[in-house]
Amino acid sequence: MDVDLKNKEEFKSMAKLNTPKGKLVRKLGVNIFGNPKFDRLLSKKGHRPGQHGKTGRRPSTYAVQLQEKQKIKFTYGTLEKQFRTYFKKASQMKGETGFNLLVLLESRLDNVVYKLGFGPTRSAARQLVSHAHFMVNGAKVNIASYRLKPGDVVQVREKSKKLDIILNSIKMVKGDLNVSWLSVDKAKMEGTFVNYPERDEIDLTMNEQLVVEYYSR
């Protein structure tokens, strides 16, 4: 089987067959789930699953582009069809397509809930949003992909303010929020989407330009 095709099929199977998160993290070489335990896993096991030692065939340009796309897609918890839709929209916006793509993903409600400290991981934040624990500008929203805009206020619903997962997540945030484009009031359990982030305000090490190249083939 062609190396690139094998790589592509492997990623597909991982996405569909409920591959253990640890294996997926090691495969991609980055903590896409934001859970500290995977940072420890990566530090202990530097090689991909199935690899023994650092030798091996150098991946093709296509394989590198594919892997970078998968890193970003899995980080934000989107499916392939949805990710393609984001890319299409990003390509129609003014400016750099790759940066536009990241801004669209960062503006998702589940991502902002996570960044505000109301959920321990993006996955947990996505579940909390889907179970209608949050409001935007005073209205209940249960769509994880809901796109926020500057000035929008995200609030924990009154009935949800005693949930352990939210309270414990807030406690984990020490000091002031380290996200310059958001503001948070921990006492009120609400945060504001102040501005769209600049590239240096997005804490991703992935190269979004490789995603642009992947879809431009």
What SS3 string covers 5-19? HHHHHHHHHHHHCCC
Average pLDDT over the chain reads 86
Nearest C-alpha neighbor of 41 from the set 55, 21, 56: 21
Segments forming the whole domain that contains residue 91 = 3-103+205-215
Q: pLDDT of 94-106, one tens digit each?
A: 999 999 999 999 9
Separation CA 28–CA 67 (nearest Å): 7
The answer on 88 and 165 residing in a single domain is: no
Separation CA 154–CA 136 (nearest Å): 5
Separation CA 23–CA 1 (nearest Å): 22
Contact 173, 167 (CB under 8 A): no
Q: In the prediction, which pLDDT does 102 show?
A: 98
How large is the average pLDDT for residues 17-26?
A: 66
Separation CA 164–CA 167 (nearest Å): 5
Residue type, 214: Y
The answer on 184 and 118 residing in a single domain is: yes
Q: In the prediction, which pLDDT does 58 show?
A: 84
User: In DSSP terms, which residues pair with 192 in a beta bridge?
Assistant: 153, 183
User: In DSSP terms, which residues pair with 121 in a beta bridge?
Assistant: none
Please check whether residue 200 lies inside any domain of the structure.
no
pTM value is 0.80
Please check whether residue 121 lies inside any domain of the structure.
yes
pLDDT band, very low/low/confident/very high, at 16 (cuts 50, 70, 90): very low
Q: In the prediction, which pLDDT does 1 show?
A: 34
The answer on 45 and 81 residing in a single domain is: yes
The answer on 117 and 179 residing in a single domain is: yes
Judged by average pLDDT, the poorest of 134-138, 151-155, 204-208 is 204-208
How large is the average pLDDT for residues 144-151?
A: 98
The answer on 85 and 140 residing in a single domain is: no
Please give the structure tokens belonging to residue 109: 């409600």
Q: pLDDT of 32-59, one tens digit each?
A: 666 666 666 666 655 555 554 455 678 8
What CATH number is associated with residue 75? 1.10.1050.10
Residue with tokens 């991703």: 204
Q: pLDDT of 155-204, one tens digit each?
A: 999 999 999 999 999 999 888 888 999 999 999 999 999 999 999 999 99
Contact 212, 77 (CB under 8 A): no
Q: pLDDT of 130-139, one tens digit each?
A: 999 999 999 9
Number of other residues whose CB lies within 10 A of the CB of residue 193: 24
Q: Is the pLDDT of residue 29 over 80?
A: no
Q: Looking at the 3D structure of the chain, how many domains does it have?
A: 2
Please check whether residue 178 lies inside any domain of the structure.
yes
The answer on 113 and 91 residing in a single domain is: no
- Listing DSSP states for 22-73 in one string gives HHHHHHHTS-TT--HHHHHHHHH--SPTT--SS--PPPPHHHHHHHHHHHHH
The answer on 97 and 15 residing in a single domain is: yes
What percent of the chain is modeled with pLDDT above 90?
68
Q: In the prediction, which pLDDT does 217 show?
A: 86
How many separate helices (H) and strands (E) can be counted in the chain? 10, 5
The answer on 28 and 89 residing in a single domain is: yes
